[in-house]
Amino acid sequence: MVLRLTLTLLCVAHMTNVDGQSLAEEYNECAAEHFHLKEYDSAIFFYSEIISLNPDDESAYFDCGFVKDLIEDYEGAIVDFTQQIAIDSEHVDSYFLRGMIWEKKKEFTKAIQDYTSVIRLEDGNADAHYFRGRLKESMKDDQGALIDYSDAIRVNPEHADAYIHRAWIKVKQKDFSSAEKDLAMAVFIDSTNVQSYYYMGFIQAENHSFEAAISYYLNAIRLNPFFELDYPIGESKKHKLTDYTSSLKKLITDQKIAATDHQLALLNVYLHQFDQALHFCNKAIAKDSLDANNYYYRSLTRLKQKKAQEAIIDLKSAIDLNPNNALYYYKRALIYLSLGETKKACSDYETEIRLEGFAHWWILPSPCAN
């Protein structure tokens, strides 16, 4: 605080007896200094002073909007980016960032309009195609999303996320062969992308290649122990997977995977071996009762056992230990919603959004939309 005040006073003191142009340049330097120190309110103050001196200074509107976005003043950021666009209607970055803000606010139609403006001005912007496709997919326009993902790949053949999302649409269309080709490309581009292995596992399970499915799921968990494979296998096939328990153990040995207790717990959840899953969860908690994820994984087991209240208790323990993990609130919100406790569910959804900054992968249920 002392450094912030000192820097501001020095800036103001240095600005006496200078002309408007020079003063604007001084303001800009001070804004940059405050931004570097993450003193965002002071940075906004100086950018606003530049705008007061010259209401047509488009870069000041953009910079001010950028900082407001960082502090989650989305309304203020939209105003600044809109004013910047009014001065320069071909400023690609302003459309793009305003589109991202509309997305955070769940104004998906407006976000799509801004991403479309980016594409109109700069067709080679792969991320604009990808982001627009992702929004179309969330709005159930799979065909429109498929076109956008394909365009993202056209302009950037190494856009792994576009391949992955295009693959998932093909999975939903039961075009497994094409989906596998896209996922193979995604893995080739980024062999550490967990989602690719998850979808490959899903395809193998749909094709009744259960041992191959387990192998892919193991790869996903090996890369990220905290990745949750939510319903990776159809209910009609779950009983067949239990035949692969011995194969699962063999895979862990052959692939030299150092399986942790909660990894083994998760795998047993997927195999619907809940007693074994609970055993590994309790074992993990006994080893480290301060690891929030241990309680989170036990909550998943409780949930699969249809013990919602016990799952909520475990999620509360996880949140108490790590209140900044958005996933815990999201999962608890789903449980509350299933129990008809809408007020609690919406509160957790809002906390999840605040912690994540934005939510690309799901839309608030109608009770929480207002």
pLDDT at position 276: 83
pLDDT of residue 179: 93
Please give the pLDDT value at position 11. Answer: 61
Mean pLDDT, the chain, whole residue set: 80
Judge whether residue 211 has pLDDT over 90: no
Contact 119, 125 (CB under 8 A): yes
Domains 1-89 and 90-186 share a fold: yes
Q: What is the pLDDT of residue 122?
A: 92
Confidence band (pLDDT; 50, 70, 90) for 356?
low
Q: How confident is the model at residue 265 (pLDDT cuts 50, 70, 90)?
A: confident
pLDDT at 95 over 60: yes
User: Residue 220, Cα to own-chain centre: how many angstroms?
Assistant: 17
CA distance 93 to 122: 10
The band of 311, judged by pLDDT with boundaries at 50, 70 and 90, is very high
Range with the lowest mean pLDDT among 13-27, 34-48, 70-84?
13-27
CA dihedral 321, 342, 135, 115 (to 10 degrees): -90
For residue range 127-177, list pLDDT tens digits in order.
999 999 999 998 889 999 999 999 999 999 999 999 999 999 998 888 999
**Could you tell me if 165 and 148 are in contact, meaning their C-beta atoms sit under 8 angstroms apart?**
no
- Asked if residue 228 has pLDDT above 70, the reply is no
More confident residue, 355 or 120: 120
- The reported pLDDT for the residue numbered 294 is 85
Please compute the mean of the pLDDT values over residues 292-308 and round it to a whole number.
86
Angle at 259 between CA 257 and CA 263, to 5 degrees: 130
Does position 70 have pLDDT exceeding 70, yes or no? yes
Which CATH code fits 1-89? Answer: 1.25.40.10
Q: How many helices, marked H, and strands, marked E, lie in the chain? A: 21, 0
Q: What pTM, to 2 d.p., does this model score?
A: 0.63
Residue 252 pLDDT greater than 90, yes or no: no
- Top pLDDT among 225 and 33 is at 33
> Looking at the domain that runs over 90-186, which CATH code has it been given?
1.25.40.10
- What is the torsional sign of CA 206, 363, 143, 115? negative
Q: Give yes or no for a contact between 103 and 111, defined as CB atoms under 8 angstroms apart.
A: yes
| Residue boundaries of the structural domains of the chain | 1-89, 90-186
Question: 235 vs 87, which has greater pLDDT?
Answer: 87
User: What is the sign, positive or negative, of the torsion defined by CA atoms of 104, 107, 112, 115?
Assistant: negative
Res 369 pLDDT > 70: no
